[in-house]
Amino acid sequence: MNITSNISLKPYNTFGMDVTAKYFAAVKSVEDIQDVLLDPVCINHEKIILGGGSNVLFTSNIEALIIKNEIPGIELLNQDEEHVYIKVGAGVNWHQFVMYCIENNYSGVENLALIPGNIGASPMQNIGAYGVEIKDVFHSLEAVSMQDKNLVTFHHKDCAFDYRESVFKNKYKNQFIITSVTYRLNKTPHYNISYGAIGAELEKMNVQDVSIQSIAKAVMNIRTSKLPDPKIIGNAGSFFKNPEISSTHFNNLKKYFPDIVGYSKSDDTVKVAAGWLIEQCGWKGYREGDAGCYDKQSLVLVNYGHAKGIDIFSLSEKIMESVHQKFDIFLHREVNIF
C-alpha cells in the first residue's frame, strides 16, 4: 500500500482549504485499509479518515496520516416482498447512490438528494434533511477495527443514532473505518412531503401525481436555490446543528421574539432553527475578507476564495457568541474541525 508525503488537501475538502497532509493514503478495499493500518507510518502517527471532505474544516497543515476512503460498489444484496437491501461502498458519492435508487424506483432516500459527501459518513453523521434521516433506511454497516484490524458488522441497534449523532462520533470515535453500508429501501413508495418547503415546491412544479422522482427534483430545486455549489464557493453545507432547548426556555423566548422558529420534539424539548437565530443576530450575508455567512442561508459559512480555515473558525466563534448573548442558546458545530 503506497503512503505518500506532503500532499495538498485542497482537492479533498469542499471548503477548498489548501493545507498539506504529512502523510496520505487512498484506500479502495478492506485489504487496503488493513495494509495501511499495519504500516509503520500509520502505527506511529495519528490517523484521520477522510471521505468526501464535505464536513471538515482544516485550520492548519495536518501532521497526521490522512486515510482517504475510496471503496467503490453498489450491490443488490437481498430483497423480499416489501424491501430491497442495497450494499454500498463507503467511498461512493452519496448523491450518486440516491440517483441509483431513483432510477430503480427504490424509495426512502429521495428526500436526501444532493447532500454532499460519501456513503461512509452517512451513518456516522446520521445525515438528514426534509423530514428523513439515515436511521430511517439504515440496515447495517461493516467497519474495520483500527485496533485489531478485523472487519466488524454493526446493526441498527448498535449505532445509537440521534440527531446528527451516532456511536461513531462518541463511544467509538476514531476506532473504526466504515467500509460499506447496507440500506433497506421500499419497493412501494412511502412519501414524506410533510416538510413544508417540499409541498410548496411540488405545487410550484405543478406536480399532480407525487413520485420519488418528483420529490427528489423538488429537493434538488430547494437546495440549489439556497445553498452554494462548493465547486464555485467553498463551503461544507450547514455549519451548525439546530439546537435543542427546553420548552420553558422556548416559551420564554417567544414572549420577546414571537417569530422564533422551533419544532417540538417532545413535551419538554424544542428544536430551534439555528439559521433563524443567526439571521436575527445580523450575520446573514456578512463577509470578513473571504470568510462569510452565505446571503441565502445563514447556516452556511463560506470561503469566497482565499479564506484560511482559521478565518472561517474565527467567524463561527463570533456567531456562536452572539447567539448565546442574544438568546442564551449554545450553538454546536456540525462540521469537524482539524
Strands (E), 130-218: 132-133, 138-145, 151-155, 176-186
Within 8 A by CB and 6+ apart from 31, the residues are none
Q: What is the DSSP letter of 285?
A: T
Which residue type occupies 269? T
CA distances for 154 relative to 125, 150, 159, 160, 183, angstroms: 15, 13, 7, 11, 12
322, 277 Cβ separation under 8 angstroms: no
Q: At what angle do helices 212-226 and 196-204 cross, to 10 degrees?
A: 100
The label of the residue with cell 445553498 reads 227
238 is catalytic: yes
Closest C-alpha among 117, 191, 183 to residue 156: 183
Catalytic residue among 107, 122, 214, 238: 238
Query: What order do you get walking across the sheet with 176-186 strand by strand?
Result: 74-79, 83-89, 176-186, 138-145, 151-155
CA–CA dist 213, 82 (Å, integer): 19
164 is catalytic: yes
- Start-to-end CA distance of the chain, whole Å, equals 25
146, 37 Cβ separation under 8 angstroms: yes
Element (H, E) at 5: strand 4-8
The label of the residue with cell 482517504 reads 68
Catalytic residue among 164, 184, 223, 333: 164
Phi-psi region of 149 (alpha: psi -120 to 50; beta: other; left: phi over 0): left
CA distances for 232 relative to 220, 247, 302, angstroms: 17, 40, 10
288 is catalytic: no
The residues annotated as belonging to the active site are: 164, 238, 334
